[in-house]
Chain A
Amino acid sequence: MIPNPKSLVTPLNTPTKVGGSADRLRRQIANNTITSILLLYCAYFFIPILWMMIAATKTPDALTQNPLGLAGQFHLLENIQHVFSIGSGQYLRWLQNSLMYTVSISALASVLAATAGYALAVYPFRGSRLIVGITLIAMLVPSSATALPLFYAFSAITAAFPQVVILNTPLAFILPASLNPFGVYLIYLYFKKQFPPELLEAARIDGAGHLLTFFRIALPSMAGLLATVAILAFVNSWNNFFLPWLMVSDQNLQPVPIGLATWAASQSSLVVGGSTGGDQFITLADLITGGALAVVPVALVFTLLRRFWVRGFLDGGVKG
């Protein structure tokens, strides 16, 4: 962690009145109050996660008999094994699907953002301002608002041309989810506000064509920002629920969140006991372990690379 420069500076700059032991006391009380409020909220945000992680290591019986305590015996590996065995490896298939979807979506979203953001900023053409305007509005419309129109449109296409089936194929989720106006806008802003245009001019004078300029000069300089776009697209599509829920109803094609929701829905109410999922019982322990496993990839990507993520937000949504 980089030390916060502010914590080094403020004590000097804060006016300290002379001889105030009452003042010092007040300051101490304020200090402790703020620290305790922060700790309280740390508990609020962290206890559910901690509980789920501990719960994933318990035996199914311990889970319901002793919800507060630690695991009597460490049962995580057995739980994972059981989750993977349900419905002849259903969960593993969902994981595979999720990975395939998220990797394709973040690759496609990055390509679209890199080319369009660059072109809109550097080579304005007739109608390019309109496209930027539409991009701005599209950024603020959540994807859950436009998911149903996509569903009607895809159904209508199949109704008109029976041989063109999009719904219930991977493309029905991958293609719409790759449209990421926020990513395009980030790259656009970068070339509009930060990138020195002389560099492109120099390349042109040296005789480099448009493609060469793009690959040799523009692409390397936006690589960091493109990482932000890719991470955002990865996390958004891994976490997306409503769009794949509408688009992919075949259980063998669903991503993890939808699959888990199906498991959760198969429990009439979230109480003890279980219900059948294919030929085997799905227990509370399965749901919790499956949920904990689904968190791992995205938590890794997000936490390790969160600097990229914040930077993306600052460059685009806030200052722009």
Chain B
Amino acid sequence: MAGLLFALPYVVFLCLFLLLPVVYSIYTSLFSDGVRNAFVGLGNYLEVLKDNNFQKALRIIVGYIVVGVPLFIVLALALALLIDSPLGRLKHFSKFVFFLPFAMPPAVSTFMWAFIYTPEVSPYGGIYRLFPFIGDYQFFLSRHELLSTPFITLENLTFAIVNIICWQNAGGWIMVLSAVLQNTSQELVDAARIDGANEWNVVRHIKIPLLSDTLMVMGVSTFAYVSQLVAEPIMLTSSLQLSKYYTPNYWASTQAFSSGNFNLSAAAVNLLILVVVLASGIVLRASRSIQKQRS
């Protein structure tokens, strides 16, 4: 009884601000034209999936997942392993610097990168001005053209935004990965080294298996973050003339906000939540069965 009383505030919050909204969102998605009107079953889901803009957004987000998630994991893992390796110097300094962007509000880092992608003000664009002769060779663009050619176009936008995500978030995970390595691996690693294992074997057969659980959690949360991608595109919409249907989640909020069609919006959001819950369920189960195999 005391337990329930202590837990009550949290349970109320959980119901009011997570469970009920999701239930309501499922309920809304089954009707058309507001809640009171016609029941259409799964009709809204079909309509969402048939929508041209939504299909385009889906293709775009799949591109982000395919490019972004592996790149992010490889980057964070590689840097954490380098920091943990016995060779090389400046480890503490690097870890600190890698972590700095993680403390920045994404809103700030997104438009900071937007500046860096804008040739007129970019520090990297400034390099062209330092070496004015670069533009004088005919097979290069002229200097003026270089400065007026935007760094990002719709073709490489995926990479531009993935770069922002990696830059922003890698440091946090590098901290976590290297803390796990430092906490757990010492005796095993020392023993392997005494047995004459080289660095690559230590990484391949000891460190990466030790990190497997952490890597799975990291994979799921990166996947979840990227599949719901919405804040960065919203911030870049006006400067890049992005479509307001650029990602599925953006599609859903534009439906709700601009068109006022909560039913379609809810159907799309439910699909997205379903994907995230399924993915995390699968990965959690896989990690549990791996743990069982090991013990």
Contact = CB atoms under 8 A, between A and B. Distances in A.
A118 B10 CA distance: 11
B252 A131 contact: no
Nearest to A2: B92
Interface stretch (A29-37, A71-79, A83-91): A29-37
B186 A123 contact: no
Nearest to A34: B88
Contact of B21 (A14, A146, A270, A314): A146
Contacts of A67: 120-123, 125-126, 129
A306 interface: yes
A152 B176 contact: no
A314 B101 contact: no
B10 A115 contact: yes
B238 A295 contact: no
B149 interface: no
B50 to A, nearest CB: 20
Contacts of B102: 302
A168 interface: no
B31 to A, nearest CB: 12
Q: Could you say which of B91, B104, B252, B276 has the most chain A C-beta atoms within 10 Å of its C-beta?
A: B104
A156 B235 contact: no
A39 interface: yes
Contact of B86 (A6, A49, A152, A270): A6
A119 interface: yes
Contacts, number: 335
B42 interface: no
Nearest to B279: A140
A38 B94 contact: yes
A120 B3 contact: yes
A178 B13 contact: yes
B228 A35 contact: no
B118 interface: yes
A214 B266 CA distance: 42
A148 B183 contact: no
**Chain B interface: which size bin?**
35 or more
Given A116-B11, A264-B238, A271 B85 contact: no
Contacts of B17: 150, 175-176, 179
Contacts of A152: 21, 24-25, 28, 256, 262, 265-266
Contact of A239 (B105, B116, B273): B105
B37 to A, nearest CB: 13
Given A142-B228, A272-B120, A299-B104, A6 B186 contact: yes
A245 interface: yes
A46 B22 contact: no
A101 interface: no
A140 B220 contact: yes
Contacts of A122: 3
B123 A47 contact: yes
A200 to B, nearest CB: 12
A153 B20 contact: yes
A111 interface: yes
Given A142-B225, A148-B269, A257 B22 contact: no
Which label, helix, strand, loop or mixed, suits the secondary structure of the A interface? helix
Interface in A271-320: 271-272, 284, 287-288, 291-292, 294-295, 298-299, 302-303, 306, 310, 313-314, 317-318
A1 B6 contact: no
Contacts of A103: none
Nearest to A144: B228
Given A51-B116, A51-B123, A295-B104, A314 B179 contact: yes
Contacts of B272: 145
Nearest to B281: A137
B103 A235 contact: yes
Q: Could you say which of B10, B98, B252, B281 has the most chain A C-beta atoms within 10 Å of its C-beta?
A: B10
Given A13-B190, A270-B114, A310-B179, A146 B273 contact: yes
B184 to A, nearest CB: 9
A123 B6 contact: yes
A41 B98 contact: yes
A19 interface: no
A217 interface: no
6 contacts: A52-B115, A64-B120, A140-B221, A295-B103, A295-B104, A298-B103
Given A267-B239, A272-B120, 6 more contacts: A45-B98, A48-B109, A55-B115, A149-B24, A153-B25, A284-B121
5 residue pairs, one from A and one from B, having the closest CB atoms:
A123-B3, A68-B126, A34-B88, A116-B10, A257-B107
